[in-house]
Amino acid sequence: MSGEPTKLKTAPSDLSAWKEILHLCRIHAIVPMAYDALSRAENKNELDNGFLHTFRQEAISKIAVQTARTEEFARVYSLLEQNGISPTVLKGMALRLLYPKSDCRVSSDEDIFIPSEELAVLKRVLENEGYESGFISENGTVIHFMHRDTLLQLEVHTKLFETQAKAGDYAFLFERQLKTSKRGGYTVLEETDQLLYLICHAAKHFAMSGFGIRQICDIIIFTQKYYDTIDFDLLLAETERAQLHIFTASLMKIGEEYFEMIKVPEVFEKFARESEPLLCDVFEGGVFGHSSEERRQSARVTMNTVSGNDKAPVLGTLFPPLADMAVLYPELNTRPYLLAWYWGVRLIKRGAMRLISAGKSVSIGKKRSELLKGYGLGKKH
């Protein structure tokens, strides 16, 4: 991650340990990065050949898919520019180029930001190029598009964060003229705003089900690359406004203690907390905290903690609000009075297992709520 491919001096030789490592790599979507490091281990030949073959084939497959999507993104981005649109790349591609082998850093979608007045032109261009529109957020500021051939997913934002979001309402931090620059042929945020955006995005998911090690890698490698140009005084002032300064300092501490790639900036040093509990939560949760259905559903509890709403979490898990139920049962979009009926349908379908799962979700959520408070996210801004 420091600009040179990672090399393991000695890889664990125990097969059961590697099976667990592969499981973690899968839930964190870092199989190609992990295999790339393993392939240069000095004792690679001592490992089980069958396992290595499985690991290698999975890595190659994911790299091939990512390469096709990277090429398609470059193509469609160029077309958008030719049509007078210059999208700001928010995450994936803006960060992938920092890695020694960029397509080893895979992503499920590409996030871009455009002014709302350019949306109609963008939609026309994408539809002419084989993209289909899908999910649209409740207030219409996020629209998903998918390319029929490569399955590249574009998440188009007309606001960096949604206002009044269930978690992560950080829109107020970006209600100003944002500076941008060109990196790798793409328009991206200026370094300090880019890091602020990455931290807010991680915090948003931390307040729900969690976020994965790949996001930490992105934040640390970006901070290392632009350490001398990031305005850490401004970053502290902005993260304090959002009550994210403790969380930010603790992320930096992970970069210093475990990655050994950066030093916690002096202005953040006094805010850093013990980093191990945060890192353990990251490993347990996987990408966006979706390592299990119970973990995913625990977001109902943690979002109550962030918003300061302490209503009974079990009821919220068993009887989700209308907006969440409408995703499962679209009829509710036009017939909301059937909500109670579909609660019953959902419970009957899942029966006792739903009750057990709800109990586990609440237990995970309560534990994570205490963790959130420890890193300063106990109350929404």
SS3 381: coil
Instruction: Give me the pLDDT at residue 54, please.
Output: 92
Q: What is the pTM assigned to this prediction?
A: 0.84
AA letter at 114: I
Helix 191-206 with 232-241: angle, nearest 10 deg: 30
Low-confidence ranges of the chain (pLDDT < 50): 1, 380-381
Cβ–Cβ < 8 Å for 236, 268: yes
Instruction: Give me the pLDDT at residue 381, please.
Output: 45
Q: From CA 28, how far away is CA 64, in angstroms rounded?
A: 18
Instruction: Give me the pLDDT at residue 74, please.
Output: 95
**pLDDT by residue (tens digit) across 81-129?**
999 998 999 998 889 989 999 999 999 889 999 999 999 999 999 999 9
Q: From CA 276, how far away is CA 274, in angstroms rounded?
A: 6
Cβ–Cβ < 8 Å for 126, 79: no
Strand partners, 142: 157
Instruction: Give me the pLDDT at residue 143, please.
Output: 92
For 289, residues 6+ apart whose C-beta sits below 8 A from its C-beta are: 205, 208, 209, 210, 211, 212, 295, 296, 298, 299
